[in-house]
Amino acid sequence: MRVLIVAPGSRGDVAPFTGLGLTLLAAGHEVTIAGYAMFSDLVTGAGLAFSPLPGDPRLLEAAAWRRGGSGPLGVARLIRLVADHLRELHTGMLAAARRADMLALSGISYAGGYHIGLALGIPSIGLALAPVYPTRDFPPSTLTARNLGRFGNLAAGQVLAFLGAPVLAGPVRELRDELGLPRVSSRQAVIGQMDATGWPALHGFSPSVVPRPADWRPGLEVTGYWWPYSPGSWTPPAELADFLAAGPPPVFAGLGSMAPENAARLSEVIAEAARRTGVRIVIQAGRAGLTWPAEAGSGISIGEVPHDWLFPRMAALIHHAGAGTSAAGFRAGVPAIAVPMIGDQPFWAARIAGLGTGPRPIPVRRLTATRLAAAIRDATTRASYRDRARHLAARIADEDGTRPVIDALGRLSG
């Protein structure tokens, strides 16, 4: 069966599907990942076929930074940005879908991809990296990390869906017109039809991190993580290997795909916090361009390094709490200090603290050397953080998030 995984988004929105795609390939499927062109090498380097989608996630991210990407107003603005982008995205999705037998949809491809599947007679399934459906158990992951109570959590999720539907429905209804499908209401276009038919949406995170809410409808499942492809033959640069061997385990600091405008200040904050605590630092440049000042002490700047290799060698992690980076930290069994910025990052940051695998998060806008130094001391000296992190890692290691996906595709194709 020719499976098309549609993965619009940043690197962290694509990488988990490289590992899942290889598992599907081994199960006998032909697998293509559709993503933004900048991630072609990431996909083909894993041995999977790639189909480019129009657009560039850096444009959406830059707009989100300027206008605010978290909180009610930030989410509303981001929804409008996404709606503007959907029209060109749907064109690329439709072209790729015509060569597929099954659609596996993630992120903002959900609604449009579902209707493309209907029009082409192709089964489809959702693959989510964060919880997106309303529940009493926690608030919407893109809205707030603050628990609003069981009634408030559900109400916030329903209001977000209600307000977002008319904005996102425009491009989806235009797509339905192009596909020759009957006109439907805004809610039916975005989520109503999927809910009415019990459309399956699998969530690729551990139930030990976020248990499946009991009030989710049938078809919404939590499978366990889908891990990015990592070449077994990878070896570290000599400079990094020598640094790790020269002293005790260091602290990692990185912001992944995030590119805040104040990267120079953040680099200085990290360096000063390291100086105050006396820890060694591995700082990953990432899209932010973080740097390690030569005069700052015992530290090193690195480029791309597989997190599954690097994180277990660290004493603690400082990161933005993106879904993928948080997952890698849980898998490594290492305490984490979350410095969330936008989107669902505050949600995952709250999970790190709630699970007892790290101190309370410090939003990046409030990050100072004093606060970060205190968090580093806490994360590297409190035994309970490491004990709970290791216990969680052991539970995650026993999970196979790919098996439910293979089984679901089998049911849909049968």
The larger pLDDT score, comparing residue 78 to residue 100, is at 100
Say whether pLDDT at 60 is over 60. no
User: What pLDDT sits at residue 187?
Assistant: 80
Structural domains for the chain: 2-225+399-413 (3.40.50.2000), 238-397 (3.40.50.2000)
CA 181 to centroid of chain Cα atoms: 32
pLDDT exceeds 70 at position 176: yes
Mean pLDDT of 307-330: 96
Pick 406 or 414 by higher pLDDT. Answer: 406
**What is the rounded CA–CA span in Å between residue 383 and residue 345?**
25
Distance, in Å, from the CA atom of 51 to the CA atom of 43, rounded to the nearest integer, reads: 10
Q: Output the pLDDT for position 291.
A: 84
Helices then strands, each counted (H, E), the chain = 17, 12
Interval 288-314 mean pLDDT: 87
By percentage, how much of the chain surpasses pLDDT 70? Answer: 90
Give the Cα separation of 195 and 184 in Å (integer). 14
CA–CA separation, 217 vs 221, rounded Å?
Answer: 9
pLDDT tens figures, 257-266: 776 777 788 9
- Per-residue pLDDT averaged across 364-375, rounded? 95
Average pLDDT estimate for 60-64: 51
Neighbours of 276 (CB within 10 A): 15
Dihedral sign for Cα atoms in the order 39, 41, 42, 47: positive
Range 132-165 burial, b when 16+ CB lie within 10 A, else e: bbbbbbbbbbbbbbeebeeeebbebbeebbeebb
Nearest to 21 by CA among 204, 222, 226: 226
Residue pair 349/329 in contact by the 8 Å Cβ criterion: no
Per-residue pLDDT band at 292 (split at 50, 70, 90): confident
Give the per-residue pLDDT at 170.
Answer: 86
Query: Residue 63 — very low, low, confident or very high, per pLDDT cuts 50/70/90?
Result: very low
Confidence grade of residue 153 (pLDDT, cut at 50, 70, 90)? confident
Q: What value does the mean pLDDT of the chain take?
A: 89
| Average pLDDT for 85-109 | 93
Say how far residue 80 (Cα) sits from the centre of its chain: 20
Q: What is the average pLDDT across 199-216?
A: 96
Between 2 and 342, the higher pLDDT residue? 2
Return the bridge partners of 64, or none: none
Contact 252, 284 (CB under 8 A): yes
Q: Per-residue DSSP letters for 210-229?
A: SPPPTTSPTTEEE----PPP
Nearest to 134 by CA among 160, 168, 164: 160
Specify the higher pLDDT residue, 349 or 144.
349
- Asked whether the predicted pLDDT for residue 250 surpasses 70, the reply is yes
Give residue 107's pLDDT. 86
d(CA 97, CA 55): 17
Q: How confident is the model at residue 65 (pLDDT cuts 50, 70, 90)?
A: very low
pLDDT of residue 66: 43
In the predicted structure, residue 169 carries a pLDDT above the cut 50:
yes
Strand partners, 126: 105, 201
CB 70 within 8 A of CB 341: yes
